[in-house]
Amino acid sequence: MNLAKVKLFALIGDPIDQSLSPAMHNAAFRALGLNCAYVALRVPERFLPDAIGGIRALGMAGFNVTTPHKISIVGLLDELDESASLVGAVNTVKNDRGKLIGFNTDGEGALRALKGKIGLIKKKEVVLLGAGGAAHAIAFSLASAGARLTIANRTVPKARAFASTIEQKLGINVEVISLARAKLTEALKNADALINATSVGMYPRADQTLVSASMMHRGLIVNDIVYRPLLTRLLREARRAGGRTIDGLGMLVHQGALAFEIWTGKRAPIKVMDAAAKRQLRGESM
Ligand code: NAP
């Protein structure tokens, strides 16, 4: 690597010390022989405008954005592409000769992970658990691709507000239900896929799940976007019910691959990125 000419990429967020993105992107740069490097930078909320000024001044080539900056960064950029303006949040920024352009690859990343098992998304019945940041990006992508969407959330008014935003922006009707067992069981009867976009089941509360095997059917495809642990309780329940599963690395690797392609214009080495993320997860003591 020629460090005097290196193109620099970063992740900004707080916290960032457990991120798998540096491992994934540096492995991809190495695999393609690119003179690029990717670092994780902790940016507390109050320093976000300074950090963006710094990125401009240093001429960094691009960066990823994570919690808590995905929404607040929008007003600090020069342009948003359609994916980011639809969701109102950004996870990827490209520095295009001084112009900072925001993208959102989270939703498309989740869609790509799902497509591997479900095929065409159009007209598929999908139950989405959650109405937070990740759920927003996923819901917009699913609705845009023609899925029939039911959103189930602990705080129902939040999910209703979110569903009406989707309806206004896309003209697509979205069902909203609570997490009550009877409601979820009913919604899952005819569902093709279930996606967990809540933090339920995430380490250290890895024994928790919002849906158990008795509420699922054999044909159901179950995608948990939680990836610590990789095999969540929800995915174990899905396997017991005879369903097919997709773990949280699917979305993570695909959103990273899409960012890589936006920055470099080259096809991302997905297998290399997936292996690097798995290696880092295996190295963690949980
Ligand atoms: P967020 O904006 O904080 O949203 C959290 C969601 O979880 C909300 O819908 C919240 O419901 C729900 N929730 C939290 N605790 C709950 C509980 N005890 N019972 C029921 N619902 C509960 O978080 P986020 O950024 O969307 O992230 C959600 C999860 O996705 C995290 O585990 C994160 O690590 C993971 N994630 C994975 C990827 C990937 O690439 N695989 C990408 C992004 C995020 P309320 O609305 O009622 O509070």
Q: Is 256 in the pocket of ligand 1 (CB under 6 A)?
A: no
Bridge partners of 9, per DSSP, are 38, 62
Measured from the CB, is residue 24 less than 6 Å from ligand 1?
Answer: no
168 burial class (0-12, 13-18, 19+ CB within 10 angstroms)?
Answer: exposed
Mutate to test the pocket of ligand 1, among 19, 154, 198, 205 (most ligand atoms within 8 A of CB): 198
CA distances 95 to 62, 145, 162, Å, are 5, 28, 30
Q: What percent of the chain shows pLDDT beyond 90?
A: 95
- The minimum-distance atom of ligand 1 relative to the CA of 70 is 25
Q: Is the pLDDT of residue 286 over 80?
A: no
**Is the distance from CB of 109 to CB of 252 less than 8 angstroms?**
yes
Q: Is the pLDDT of residue 1 over 90?
A: no
For residue range 2-45, what is the model confidence (pLDDT) as tens digits?
A: 888 999 999 999 999 999 999 999 999 999 999 999 999 999 99
Average pLDDT of the chain to the nearest whole number: 96
Residue identified by tokens 């991302």 is 268
Whether residue 51 is predicted with pLDDT greater than 60 in this model: the reply is yes
* CB contact at 8 A, 10 and 60: yes
Please list, residue by residue across 197-210, b when 16 or more beta carbons sit within 10 angstroms of its beta carbon and e when fewer do.
Answer: bbebbbeeeeeebb
